[in-house]
Structure 1
Amino acid sequence: MDSVARPTGSVDQRSAAGFGSGVVAVVAILTLGTRQSQVVPFSLGLTPSVVIVYGCLVALLLCWLARQTIAAPHRTTLLLVMAMMATTLISSAALMLRGPDETAATNSLLAVVRESWLLGLVLFILVVVRSRAGLENLMRGIVVGATLSGVVGLLAVYLNLDLSSLISVPGLSDQGSLLTSDLQRAGSVRPQGMAGHPLELSAVLTVAFPLAVALTAAERRRGHTGVLWALASLVLLIAALSTISRSAVIAAVVALVVMAWSWPVRRVAALVGAAIVAVFIAMALGVSVVTRIADVLTGGSQDASLASRSNGLDYAFAAMPDHLWFGQGIGTYDVQKQPVLDNYYLGRAVEGGLLGLLALVVLLLGIVLVAVAARRRFADLGDDSTSELVNGIVGSITALIVIGLILDVPAFQQISTLQFLLVALAGVAATVANEGATS
Structure 2
Amino acid sequence: MTSTSEAAAPAHRPAGRPVRTPRLPKARVDPVTIITFFLIVLFVMPARYVVGPLGGAGSPSSMVAVLLLVWYLLSTLSPRWTPIRGKQPVRLVIVFLGLSVLASYIAATTRPLSADEVNAADLGLVLVAGWAGIALVTADGVNTMDRLETLRHRIVLGASFPAFIAMVQFFTGIEVTQYMALPGLVEKGSAVLFEREGFFRPSGTATHPIELGVVLAAVLPLALHGAIYCRIPEQRRKRWWMVALIAGTLPMSVSRSAILGLFVVLVVLLPTWPSEWRLRALLIGGAASILMRLMIPGLIGTVLNLISVIGSDENSTTRTGDYDAVVAAVSQRPLFGQGFATYLPRMYRVIDNQYLMSALETGLIGVGALLVFLATGWLLARGARRAAADEETRHLAQCFAASVAVAIFGFGTFDAFSFPMITNVMFLILGCCGALWRLQTQRPSL
The TM-score bracket by the shorter chain reads 0.7 to 0.9
TM-score for both structures, normalised by structure 2: 0.85
TM superposition shift of 1:83: 0.9
Partner of 2:20: none
Q: Deviations 1:271-313 (Å, cap 9, x if unpaired)?
A: 1233234435655777332122123223469985323312222
Alignment check: 8 A CA contact 1:78 1:123 kept: yes
1:217 aligns with 2:217: no
TM superposition shift of 1:135: 1.2
Q: Deviations 1:348-375 (Å, cap 9, x if unpaired)?
A: 0111111111111122112201111102
Report the count of equivalent residues: 418
Q: CA 1:302–1:189 in structure 2 vs 1: closer, same or farther (change >3 Å)?
A: farther
Alignment check: 8 A CA contact 2:195 2:201 kept: yes
1:424 aligns with 2:435: no
Q: CA 1:29–1:262 in structure 2 vs 1: closer, same or farther (change >3 Å)?
A: farther
1:20 aligns with 2:27: no
Correspondent of 1:229 among 239, 245, 249: 239
Correspondent of 1:197 among 208, 213, 224: 208
Partner of 1:328: 338
Looking at CA atoms only, which structure, 1 or 2, has the larger radius of gyration? 2
Partner of 1:87: 100
Matches within 5 A, 1:7-406: 19-39=30-50, 46-72=58-84, 74-167=87-180, 172-219=183-230, 226-280=236-290, 282-283=292-293, 287-299=297-309, 304-378=314-388, 381-382=389-390, 384-406=391-413
Q: CA 1:95–1:234 in structure 2 vs 1: closer, same or farther (change >3 Å)?
A: same
- The residue type equivalent to 1:68 in the other structure is R
Partner of 1:6: none
Q: Deviations 1:402-439 (Å, cap 9, x if unpaired)?
A: 11111101111111111111110100111111246999
TM-score for both structures, normalised by structure 1: 0.86
Q: Deviations 1:81-140 (Å, cap 9, x if unpaired)?
A: 211111111111111133434332322222122112211222222232111122122222
CA distance in 2, matches of 1:236, 1:392: 15
Alignment check: 8 A CA contact 1:212 1:232 kept: yes
Q: Deviations 1:160-195 (Å, cap 9, x if unpaired)?
A: 454424546xx5423114235332112211012111
Alignment check: 8 A CA contact 2:83 2:140 kept: yes
CA distance in 2, matches of 1:435, 1:226: 31
Q: Deviations 1:20-75 (Å, cap 9, x if unpaired)?
A: 21221221232122212334699887444344444444444444445424232652
**Unaligned runs of at least 5 residues, structure 2:** 1-27
CA distance in 2, matches of 1:71, 1:433: 17
Bigger mean CA offset, 279-288 vs 63-72: 279-288
- The residue type equivalent to 2:395 in the other structure is E
Bigger mean CA offset, 180-189 vs 354-363: 180-189
1:409 aligns with 2:416: yes
Q: CA 1:112–1:56 in structure 2 vs 1: closer, same or farther (change >3 Å)?
A: closer
TM superposition shift of 1:317: 2.1
CA distance in 1, matches of 2:272, 2:265: 12
CA distance in 2, matches of 1:414, 1:144: 15
Bigger mean CA offset, 257-266 vs 49-58: 49-58
Identity value in percent: 23
CA distance in 2, matches of 1:286, 1:377: 44
CA distance in 2, matches of 1:138, 1:269: 30
SS in 1 for 2:355: helix
- The residue type equivalent to 1:84 in the other structure is L
CA distance in 2, matches of 1:311, 1:258: 31
Q: Deviations 1:314-349 (Å, cap 9, x if unpaired)?
A: 321232111111112111112123221110101001
Alignment check: 8 A CA contact 1:95 1:329 kept: yes
**Unaligned runs of at least 5 residues, structure 1:** 1-16
CA distance in 2, matches of 1:52, 1:230: 31
SS in 2 for 1:184: strand
Alignment check: 8 A CA contact 1:217 1:385 kept: no
CA distance in 2, matches of 1:262, 1:438: 31
SS in 2 for 1:189: strand
- The residue type equivalent to 2:228 in the other structure is A
SS in 1 for 2:109: helix
SS in 1 for 2:337: coil
- The residue type equivalent to 1:325 in the other structure is L
